[in-house]
Copies of this chain bind each other. A is one copy, B any other.
Amino acid sequence: MTGRRDGDRLLTTREVARLFRVDPKTVGNWVTAGRLESIRTPGGHRRYRESLVHALLRGETG
């Protein structure tokens, strides 16, 4: 389904951490290690695409 909107919701670090059963620190570590895509707010906080996170949770690494 390529007709999916790219403008899906954005998840915070805490939400992603809860989804993956990991520590929020670990999620930030994934970004630092270049293993996870993230969007930065102008303030420096990270946001993650819900579709990307869901794809990871479904076992689709991309």
Contacts and interface: CB of A to CB of B under 8 A. Distances in A.
A19 B39 CA distance: 12
Given A37-B59, A59-B37, A21 B9 contact: yes
A35 B39 contact: no
Interface residues of A, number: 29
Interface in A1-18: 6, 9-12
Q: Is the interface of A mostly helix, strand, loop or mixed?
A: loop
A30 B47 contact: no
Contacts of A54: 6
Interface of A: 6, 9-12, 19-22, 26, 29-30, 33, 35-43, 47, 54, 56-59, 61
